Structure 1
């Protein structure tokens, strides 16, 4: 159960997510409908035979040149460890509303949601950790095992290799060049996004979930996103990298709001895609791609642009007070 297309940032909203580790696994629910859960509370257990079978697949992925230097034996030993099997934390603070037929746990939560332009990888939970800008790479910072690391700038293939070798569960960044993303995923991006079988496609990706907020290229993360993430640093969050053009699914990061936040200032926002004066928008193409502003005026008639094209247009006031007139096809509503 992933999020549909919509605003890139929702500061307060009510969400429902199925907690499921991905793949065709056999999981046992540890909670029941009507129960309240905490983000770090185990809600699923992967049966032991599933862990043993998964060990060979993970070892095969980690043995690829992309993974860099990884202690494969330690990973394999961890997956094959004796005991009752790996438990999966909720990743959300909320209320269990259903158990799905495959054993997934559906949780309703009052949360903040950040949606990405592109992502890859199954749903994971971890501690939200901001990368310190003074460090040269994610691999040089002391990061909690299984963390969800936030890099507020562009990613490179080298950074991805260092991140995965550090045991990071997921990575959120602003942008990445196409060659670096495809080099890390070892697959064609168009084929990945247009795949008919999402579960099968995700199973063959490297074991680290990615969310790219702005898309391909070299674009910085907007302040509204970095500020929101900084406010929740240290929280357990839920990240999904699943992206599908066929099923209109975007990757997202879900951050449950604390009880105090809900009690003091709960004003849920509903996603609305209509372009109207006063709406906050993002430029999604052209030389100003990535810029954020507010619709100052919607033109009644089509405008003629320097290329000779006639199109419906809007005047946008950017965050630096600059005014732009852009075709509606090049802007998307974000707030």
Structure 2
């Protein structure tokens, strides 16, 4: 496994956007770990809270095997709308979009991000777009049609947001249980679009474990993947089939960072001179800090130049005076 840092990612994005890389765009693949700073919970905790919401008694130390069995049984009893209503109750109680989502949307608006693929089915991105008054992404869910131009892309399209496991806002979550995640096939056009994105764009993975066998199968069918940046607070786990696949091809570049920290650090450079005219006024610490840092640098440069100029003028005057005194004597 190759160890890298955020500066490597920044340089890579810059090379892609400058046209010096063979890939045409930048794609982020994000999982549940990306939502932790937004108050999100990991999948195991989601299952426990989902069951408790439906009146089940679940000890906190329940084994994964028993938890999955209970979860599958409960889901089998429920309609699609019923499962979405319970998910809504559990997830709305704890989630609000973090700064990382705002920075992601702004980077997409400015053309630095061409696609996001996610296994998350919440609406943090949609909420963020609304709060910023920006809508760079065209969002595709299992219930929406994918026009052919999006996976043929002869010309540039707007950034794509591909929600592989469903969408709470449309009341359709297709991949929730282990059986669904491992065995329920994605739509044909969804797979075409996924492959097209990975074929054309350079991939950065954030907060994703790589345990979806169907997604790994799609990766196995793509022959021209270049280096993949794997961003997480813990190293990629070898029991993930996707990790194994990428390591076998020596394509895995690990970066120790969180979702928010990654976008904060990228934005300090990429959003440094950004002007977002139609954006709603939202306080983003990273953007404010970057603007202040830039203004301070400009201020210091201005006064450093003034001091140098004063020194040059003053030095010249002293030299002239010295020469005049010498001439007198």
TM-score interval (norm. to shorter): under 0.3
> What is the TM-score with the length of structure 2 in the denominator?
0.24
Whichever structure has more helix as a proportion of its residues is: 2
Which structure's residues are more often strand, by fraction?
A: 1
TM-score between the two structures when normalised by the length of structure 1: 0.23
